[in-house]
Amino acid sequence: MPNKKKGTIALPLEKNEIIKDYRLAYQSRQASLIGRREVLSGKAKFGIFGDGKEIAQLAIARAFQKGDWRSGYYRDQTWMFMLGVMSIQEFFAQLYAHSDTTHDPASGGRQMNAHFATRLLHPNGTWRSQTQLYNTAADVSCTAAQMPRAVGLAYASVVYRSLKELHNLKDFSINGNEVTFATIGNASTAEGHFWEAVNAIGVLKAPAVISIYDDGYGISVPNQFQMVKENIGTLLKGFERDPHTPPDKAHNGYDHYTVHAWDYPALVETYQTAAEIAREYHIPALVHVIDVTQPQGHSTSGSHERYKSAERLKWEEEFDGLKKMRQWMIDNRIISVPELDALEKADYDTVEGFRKAAWDAYLAPITEERAQVMDMLEEIAGASNHVAELRMLRDRLATLPSFTRRDIHTIVHEALRLLRDESHPNKQVLIGWKHENDKLNLERYGSHLYSGTAMKVDEVKPVYADESPTMFGFEVVNAAFDAALARDPRLIAFGEDVGKLGDVNQGFKGMQEKYGAMRVTDTGIREATIMGQAIGMAMRGLRPIAEIQYLDYVLYALQTMSDDLASLHWRTAGGQKAPVIVRTRGHRLEGVWHSGSPMMGILSLVRGMYVLVPRDMTHAAGFYNTLLKSDEPAIVVEVLNGYRVKERLPKNIGEIALPLGVPETLREGKDMTIVTYGACCRVVLDAADKLAKVGIDVEVIDVQSLMPFDIRSKIIESLKKTNRILFVDEDVPGGTTAYMMQEVIEKQGGYFHLDSPARTLSAKAHRPSYGSDGDYWSKPNPETVFDAVYEMMHEVDPNAYPVFK
């Protein structure tokens, strides 16, 4: 701290550092103002900015150290600029959706502006050293969606500090000293994700500093409609630990701070204190940043003048953090007004220069593509009967005031429609250009949905000896988890009842006693943050198996799975990954709950993850081993009524590896192919025995893996032989059976081999009714499978298969 001079106050930093901070905040404000202008002028599609929050973010950035993590939202630009995680030029590149990661490293143009991310991976997919980086998890627009993963990012520090066997992983942690900084707006604290995350972080005693920027509104809705007592800080007081107990003596609850968004010295002190205590003692902090202003309103989608009073707008102008810091600097003789005026003019010009450089870089390759198309159109026009129309298209393209690749390809498509009845070499050049650029653009905007590592794991078949014991299914998967926990100290299993009880079906029985409570851990009933805990831990180099107790409970976590986990690798263009294994169980149980099979809903929402549906515990073990050899997220749905079914234990239970996307033929046949998975395998095999007794020979195929699906087209080979197919599962009508039908009949060309219409057999549209009888008339059973097949065969040969019902 600088010495206090007579007649002045003690400054929080040296004068040159304060001036540097202000200039950065001023540049950030200009980026917001200029960014809004670019959207309103049509150069960018949408803008959301961090104006009004600059001063608080200066203080956060000063407390943030290499190795720390940010789990924030789209208002944190000043913080990111100060750390160098994103430059102002990169900020504008993202605003324009520049698809080159050298210009927009955070997302390669895939995310809206102000969605920040550190590139955590080398181009080959291996981890960079996180302890040498300022780490920021890729932002998610959905309100409060940054909170669940903050649980895992913070808790990873607890794991790294507690487990000696991980202390050598210096690229991921230095004694668990890393702090996770989470930010959220006041209105988003009304979301369940926020409260679940705050509670979980407190229970886990994880080092997090959670900041709530409170501007009094959620778009147009004031705090009186957002929260009880209109003050989130008041509500959070219940999480506060005893402030009179020294940090080294108390470890239950949060430190709680309230600070004005315009008070630069207090902000610097608050965040330094909160971060130091969190770092050393793993005591989390809640920082309520009040009196936040929002000079441009919520976003470019609307104007805050529509819902804020004249008095409120006047107050916001007076208490603007930038304006208040400027006056504070002048009052304390840190800098003079003329000096500040000169610096501000230079800083505006600097930001405008960054904007121009970003725009020119974004437009250059598109301009080149436009020139190529214009040249080709001119060449074609000279030999075409549509010379006038083609030159009009060329002129239209040439005179567009602003243009995108879509505009260019729209013109090309229109030209090819005109030329559909002509044939000459230059037309083929244009077609070739279109095909080549379509391929480039599909890669440009769609690459990295998967890393592909799981698909490269070699199959290891189970090996059995004469003495291989027969045991319950839960004992088989238990043996697999035992081997995996022994093999890799990074493997952490957690979920409701997973620890002491060993999960409700005993898959982890005895594992907590053997490996300790940090390796096999109980959690509260909080599915969204179980998922977030797994994401954050996986991003920090650990290998979590997160258990969601039942398949229908996955719905609580599905938003986090879909918006964050499944899209992470794609939305960062390969810059981040989180190899989470979600373990759950479902399908058959005789009741309304825990009996549903919402597989199509999951399939639709988690593209970017693998969806695996093993029919027994040996196959489940094979999938777990495969996933642990790769770096991709997946959900494994075990069969709920399979834990008490007897299986033989392979000698190599810890090594078996099941390939993804490869179905298994359970029974060969010549009359019809039945495609199914999971619990329905036993149902269909039972039906197959009954069908055999009336002379119908069916082939039964277990797909095993819904995503990816039958990558070797094994089902087609069966269909070529039988020429008839039935898809069976216990999802709702039009659900996963329809998905499987599309995969086989449409995508793999199975329609070509059909002699009868393809059919589906699913559960009923309602939830499964309670009890054995309710189950029987709610889901496919051996008799309904028999009837479906028999009816199809009756249509083929009524005499051989007469109606009997």
Active site residues: 594
Q: Other CB atoms closer than 10 Å to residue 802's CB: what's the count?
A: 9
- Dihedral pair phi/psi, residue 311, rounded to 5°: -65, -40
Q: Other CB atoms closer than 10 Å to residue 129's CB: what's the count?
A: 12
What long-range pairs does 509-512 form, CB within 8 A, spacing at least 24? 509/474, 509/478, 510/478, 510/482, 511/478, 511/481, 511/482, 511/485
CB–CB of 319/293 below 8 Å?
yes
Q: Other CB atoms closer than 10 Å to residue 237's CB: what's the count?
A: 13
- Dihedral pair phi/psi, residue 299, rounded to 5°: -165, 180
The CA distance from 93 to 300, in Å, is: 17
The CA distance from 83 to 148, in Å, is: 24
- Dihedral pair phi/psi, residue 106, rounded to 5°: -70, -40
CB–CB of 733/741 below 8 Å?
no
CB–CB of 208/147 below 8 Å?
no
Cα dihedral 394/398/404/408 (nearest 10): 10
Token pair belonging to 174: 């230095």
Residue 646's H or E segment, with its range, is: strand 646-648
The CA distance from 341 to 357, in Å, is: 24
DSSP string over 511-556: HHHHH-TTTEEE--S-HHHHHHHHHHHHHTT-EEEEEPSSGGGHHH
DSSP string over 473-517: HHHHHHHHHHHHHHH-TTEEEEETT-SSS--TT-TTTTHHHHH-T
Q: How many residues does the chain have?
A: 805
The CA distance from 52 to 259, in Å, is: 14
Crossing angle (nearest 10°) for helices 54-63 and 264-281: 30
Residue 362's H or E segment, with its range, is: helix 337-381
CA nearest to 29, candidates 91, 116, 84: 91
CB–CB of 529/200 below 8 Å?
yes
Token pair belonging to 613: 């549906």
From residue 99, alpha-carbon distances to 275, 365, 440, 685, 722 in Å are 36, 11, 11, 50, 47
Token pair belonging to 289: 């940043």
The CA distance from 37 to 352, in Å, is: 12
CA nearest to 603, candidates 566, 548, 647, 564: 566
Residue 28's H or E segment, with its range, is: helix 15-40
DSSP string over 100-131: -TTT-TTTTT-S-TT------B-TTSPBP-GG
Token pair belonging to 517: 């409570």
Looking at the DSSP assignment, which residues form a beta bridge with residue 182? Answer: 71, 210
